[in-house]
Amino acid sequence: MLGESHSLANEFPEHSELIAKLVASDETFAADTKKYNGLDDEIRALELKNAPIDDEAMHQLKHDRAELKDSLYQRLLKANG
Grade residue 9 by pLDDT with cuts at 50, 70 and 90. Answer: confident
The rounded percent of the chain whose pLDDT value lies above 70 is: 95
The residue with greater pLDDT, 73 or 7, is 73
Q: Check pLDDT > 80 for residue 4.
A: no
Average pLDDT over residues 67-76: 97
- Which residues fall within 8 angstroms of residue 15, CB to CB, at 6 or more apart? 76, 80
- Of the candidates 2, 1, 76, which has an alpha carbon nearest to the alpha carbon of residue 32? 76
For 2, the 3-state DSSP assignment is coil
Does the structure show a pLDDT above 90 at 74?
A: yes
Phi-psi region of 28 (alpha: psi -120 to 50; beta: other; left: phi over 0): alpha
Model pTM?
A: 0.87
